[in-house]
Amino acid sequence: MNDSIDTATQQETAERVLEGLGVAPGVAIGPAHVTDSGRLRVREYKIAAGAVAEEQQRFVDAVAASAKQLRKLQARAEKLSGAAAEELGFLLEASLQILSSQRLTKRVEDRIAADRINAEAAVQAEVGRIGEEFAQLPDAYLAARAQDIHEVGARLIRRLSNAPYAGLADLPKGAIVIAHSITPADTVLMDPSRVGGFAAAVGGPESHTAIMGRSLGLPAVLGIQDLEEKISPGETVILDGAKGLVIVSPTAKTLTEYTRARRRLARERGLLNRLRSLRAVTLDGTKVSLQANVELPFEVDAAVRAGAEGIGLLRTEFLFMNRDDLPSEDEQYAALKSFVVAMNGKPVTIRTLDVGGDKLAPALREKLPTGANPALGLRAIRLSLKHRPLLEAQLAAILRVGALGPVRLLLPMVGTPSDIVKVRAVLGCVATRLKKAKVRIADPLPPVGAMIEVPAAALAVRFIAAAADFLSIGTNDLTMYTLAIDRGDEHVADLYDPLHPAVLQLIHHAIEGANTAGVPIALCGEMAGDPRYTALLLGLGLRDFSMRPTGLARVKQRVRAVDVDDATRRAHFMLDQPDSAHISRLLDDKNVEDRTG
Ligand code: PEP
Ligand code: MG
């Protein structure tokens, strides 16, 4: 009998490792604060026919009270710093829009009347249905918005049932918040100087909650089923935000390992902070330019903080997501303006729309046919040139923001010089129209550059360079098209290899061609942000890198340890190797040597 009690106690306190999605890196160790936030149990009951109007009014009042509460949170969010404030402001606005949308309110009121049920149950049913409709949408971004709907529903139910809200403001220092779901609005209630991190059952890597975790610098793990039922309040928890682990009741050995890892990360963060203010120069004094790639407005803050010399790639696809119509010139202007203003005189390289094939924005999907082979079909600049109003609106918005600071125009998937010539002609017409209308635009016109991301463009680089003001190598697509391996297909992911000799030859050929033509060339594919490739790319002649803001400090650290003559000799030796396994080995040997030498 005693034995079995002992075993049970031991099992309860034995280390448990729960695996989820690491959405915000870092290590946190602390007591679990388990909240029931997000999982509200709703009781359904029937109401009398005469009580329907009253029940509907109760719902309308709850909507008004929730909207008021959201506006209060908005005021609070404004006091947060940069990226977090912007992201949260955007989300709270989205919640307010959902609350004021007929789609939800009308359907709930109708259901109260049709099923004669209480408002809480009607909200739960309708939120479930709308959430499912969203989740089934083919567009992943839109599908992820199902979570926003659930969040608004939970807020309404909490209000209707007077459920107490689990506060997150006064937690013990270092507490790890564990919940069924954590909304972005919950994260604003967390004080980063007290909360160690958070984990939840619900949410994916691109959810707003994940983005908030990254913005606030809090380690976070999402997607562990029934998480809140697997941890008792006060149990010691380790969060490994990089590996996506929640370790409950760790053994002394695990605790020591993670305490060390946490110290090491803090030291590294300190080092990277110091690097921010240092110049990107090699050991022999060669100056290297490090710029940032940004995809969403809030990322520009990270680019500035990381000390980027400019934005080397602004992907404009975000302007076309999450909507059924095309963004107007004014909307695009307003969005692009925020980047140019934030960069405060540093250059912003704006790429025209790079969607197509299966990734068509909903508004374009109706207008344009999808070919049998989307990756080789009507996409990127080909699509813009076929759909003139789309291109003209983008160019007009870019020309207008060009009056506010230095901008450059970058064209995706250029195949021939005539792509550039055609865009220049449209650019000229749009500029004339705007000038006639007395609209302020960039003067002189912005430089026009081409992505080198299809093998044809890399091979014919001298002709492309003759038509362009600058070039940027997109190794993500260049690798895909050179090797005929879909970059997004997990079945061939192991074959996708930017170190393949053919890819390296093309990168080298493009850099040499641009240098001979005297046209600046950068590289903005994922390779640019991985310090593993820094010495190799410098050795191939690259001097301009553009990457995720989070990659900048590490690449700079690597740049400062490279001797260009030595890197060039080694890179040329690598170009002579028959396969990527050889190249990979040479690369790693050299990287280790530089770190330890
Ligand atoms: C590339 O292809 O390398 C690139 C930078 O563009 P994207 O990843 O947006 O296709
Ligand atoms: Mg590309």
The full 3-state SS of 141-157, as one line of letters, equals: HHHHCHHHHHHHHHHHH
Q: What is the DSSP string of 51-116?
A: GHHHHHHHHHHHHHHHHHHHHHHHHHHTTS-HHHHHHHHHHHHHHHHHHH-HHHHHHHHHHHHHHT
Nearest residue (by CA) to ligand 1, atom 1, is 474
Measure 328 CA to ligand 1 centroid, in angstroms.
25
* Candidate from 9-18, 225-234, 247-256, 399-408 with smallest mean pLDDT: 9-18
Atom 6 in ligand 1: residue holding the nearest Cα: 474
Instruction: Tell me: pLDDT of 344 over 60.
Output: yes
Ligand 2: centre distance to CA 290 (Å): 19
Category of 372 on φ-ψ map: left (φ > 0), alpha (ψ -120 to 50) or beta: alpha
Q: Is the pLDDT of residue 10 over 50?
A: no
Q: Which residues contact 557 (CB under 8 A, 6 or more apart)?
A: 271, 272, 275, 531
Burial category of 226 from C-beta neighbours within 10 Å (exposed 0-12, middle 13-18, buried 19 and up): exposed
Which-ligand-closest: CA of 476?
1
Catalytic residue among 208, 500, 508, 509: 208
Picking from 235, 202, 236, 234, the residue whose alpha carbon sits closest to that of residue 221 is 202
> What separation in Å is there between the alpha carbon of 356 and the centre of ligand 2?
11
pLDDT tier at 270 (50, 70, 90 boundaries)?
A: confident
Q: How far is the CA of 382 from the centre of ligand 1 (A)?
A: 16
The predicted pLDDT at position 276 comes to 82
Catalytic, 208? Answer yes
Rounded to 5°, angle at Cα 478 from 500 and 540? 60
**Of these residues, 150, 180, 508, 524, which one is catalytic?**
524
pLDDT band at 4 (very low <50, low <70, confident <90, very high): very low
pLDDT in tens, 122-173: 998 888 888 787 777 666 556 666 777 877 888 888 788 776 455 666 788 8
Ligand 2 center–CA 217 separation, angstroms:
29
Predicted confidence (pLDDT) at residue 372 exceeds the cutoff of 80: no
Of 244, 254, 232, the closest CA to residue 13 belongs to: 232
Residue 574 and residue 583: Cα distance in Å, rounded? 6
Please write the tens of the pLDDT for every residue from 516-539. 999 999 999 989 998 999 999 999
Output the CA–CA distances (angstroms, integers) from residue 226 to 39, 90, 268, in the order listed: 10, 29, 34
Other Cβ atoms within 10 Å of 260 Cβ, number: 11
CB 351 less than 6 A from any atom of ligand 1: no
User: Taking a C-beta distance cutoff of 8 angstroms, is the pair 546, 470 a contact?
Assistant: no
Would the CB of 196 count as within 6 Å of ligand 1?
no
- Is it the case that residue 265 has pLDDT exceeding 80? yes
Specify whether 524 is catalytic: yes
Is residue 352 within 6 Å of ligand 1 at its C-beta? no
Burial 533-566 (b: 16+ CB within 10 A, else e): bbbbbbbbbbbbbbbbbbbbbbbbbbbbebbbeb
Identify which of 410, 451, 507, 523 to mutate to test ligand 1's pocket (most ligand atoms within 8 A of the CB).
451
Ligand 1 contacts CB of residue 524 (under 6 A) = yes
Tokens, residue 78 = 């404004």
Nearest atom in ligand 1 to the alpha carbon of residue 526 is: 3
**Single-letter residue type at 492:** V
Atom of ligand 1 nearest to the CA of 315: 9
Share of the chain above pLDDT 90, in %: 54
Task: Please report which confidence band the pLDDT of residue 236 belongs to, taking 50, 70 and 90 as the band edges.
Answer: very high
With a 6 Å cutoff on the Cβ, whether 498 touches ligand 1 is no
Q: Ligand 1 within 6 A of 453 CB?
A: yes
Q: Is the CB of 476 under 6 A from ligand 1?
A: yes
Atom of ligand 1 nearest to the CA of 472: 5
User: Where does 49-161 sit in CATH, by number?
Assistant: 1.10.274.10
Instruction: Quote the tokens at residue 550.
Output: 């989070």
Neighbours of ion ligand 2 (CB under 5 A): 453, 474, 477
Averaged pLDDT, 278-301: 91
Ligand 1 and 332: CB distance under 6 A:
no
Residue 387 has which token pair? 């759909």
N- to C-terminal Cα separation, the chain: 62
- Name the residue with the closest Cα to ligand 1, atom 3: 474
pLDDT of 328 reads 95
Predicted local confidence at residue 597, as pLDDT = 59
Average pLDDT of the segment spanning 294-300? 80
Q: Is the pLDDT of residue 2 over 50?
A: no
Ligand 1 atom with the shortest distance to the CA of 473: 3
* Ligand closest in space to the Cα of 478: 1
Which tens digit of pLDDT belongs to each residue from 476-502? Answer: 999 999 999 887 776 777 888 999 999
Residue 226 sits at φ, ψ, to 5 deg, of 50, 30
Residue 315 in contact with ligand 1 by CB distance below 6 A: yes
Identify the pLDDT of residue 111.
Answer: 93
Q: For ligand 1, is residue 354 a contact (CB within 6 Å)? A: yes
* Of residues 37 and 342, more confidently modeled: 342
Lowest mean pLDDT among 26-40, 252-266, 578-592: 26-40
Question: Best substitution site from 480, 506, 524, 547 to test ligand 1's pocket, by max atoms within 8 Å of Cβ?
Answer: 524
Helices and strands counted in the chain (H then E): 25, 16
More confident call, 131 vs 353:
353
**Would you state the pLDDT for residue 83?**
58
Kindly give the distance from the C-alpha atom of residue 570 to the centroid of ligand 2, in angstroms, as a whole number.
28
412 CA to middle of ligand 1, Å? Answer: 8
- For a pocket test of ligand 1, which of 293, 296, 299, 315 has the largest count of ligand atoms closer than 8 A to its C-beta? 315
Say which DSSP state 295 is in.
Answer: -
pLDDT band at residue 1 using 50, 70 and 90 as cut-offs: very low
17-21, 31-35, 155-159, 537-541: segment of lowest average pLDDT: 155-159
For residues 470 and 447, give the distance between their C-alpha atoms in angstroms, rounded to a whole number.
7
Cβ of residue 474 lying under 6 Å from some atom of ligand 1: yes
The CATH fold assigned to 286-596 is TIM Barrel (3.20.20)
> Domain coordinates of the chain in residue numbers?
15-37+166-252, 49-161, 286-596
Longest dimension (CA), the chain: 92
| Architecture, CATH, for domain 15-37+166-252 | 3-Layer(bba) Sandwich (3.50)
Measured in Å, residue 245 CA sits from the centre of ligand 2 at 32
The burial class, CB within 10 Å (0-12 / 13-18 / 19+), for 381 is buried
pLDDT tops 50 at residue 54: yes
Mean pLDDT of the chain: 87
Reported pTM: 0.66
